[in-house]
Amino acid sequence: MTLPPELQSALPSAQRAGNTRLRVWGFDVYDASLWVTPGFRPEAWEQGAFALDLRYLRAFDGADIARRSIDEMARTGPMPPSQEAAWLRTMQSIFPDVKKGDRIVGVYQPGQGARFFFNSAPHGEIRDAAFAERFFAIWLGPRTSEPAMRAALLMPLRAASPAAAP
């Protein structure tokens, strides 16, 4: 698969790792693809730059995406209510309403934060390393609510790693 245009400058050496489709209660929600840079290690995903590309298969309000995101982020551990409220407000200001076919790409920058693109155009940045790690843990962290999705995104990398060889 060809590197998405927004990643040609953000992560020019990235290659697609895994991809999968999220289905909830029988409804297709989005297709997800993980793009990683050389040296990316699944067991230490939070230490390397990567991008998560979500291609929506139905319409959602940006405010609903933000609310679901903060709920999923809370699964990884307790958050002070003030932090939760601040992150929710920030996501509500960045996440757009989406319709079928729209894409949101999040670029994880370890120790710095996250950049977001909407249909290949820059759409916001959150320069908060703690936010970025917790946000991307929705998909890649061990406490994700979608372990099969996590496995599908990371499994191709695990199979290719030298540690996986007999």
DSSP state string for 45-98? GGGS-EEEEEEESS-B-HHHHHHHHHHHHHTTS---HHHHHHHHHHHHHHPPPB
- Specify the higher pLDDT residue, 103 or 9: 103
Rounded alpha-carbon distances, angstroms, from residue 8 to 45, 49, 103, 108, 155:
21, 14, 16, 15, 24
pTM of the model: 0.91
What number of CA atoms fall less than 13 Å from residue 137's CA on the CB side? Answer: 21
68 contacts 44 by C-beta, under 8 angstroms: no
Q: How confident is the model at residue 157 (pLDDT cuts 50, 70, 90)?
A: low
**Phi and psi dihedrals of 30, rounded to 5?**
-160, 160
Q: Tell me the pLDDT tens digit for each residue of 17-55.
A: 999 999 998 899 999 999 999 999 999 999 999 999 999
Q: Tell me the pLDDT tens digit for each residue of 97-142.
A: 999 999 999 999 999 999 999 999 999 999 999 999 999 999 999 9
- Specify the higher pLDDT residue, 2 or 59: 59
- Specify the higher pLDDT residue, 76 or 60: 60
Domains observed in the chain: 5-157 (3.50.70.10)
Give me the numbers of helices (H) and strands (E) for the chain, helices first please: 5, 6
Rounded alpha-carbon distances, angstroms, from residue 78 to 74, 131, 150:
6, 13, 21
What does the alpha-carbon distance between residue 147 and residue 141 come to, in Å, rounded to a whole number? 9
Structure tokens at 51: 């991008």
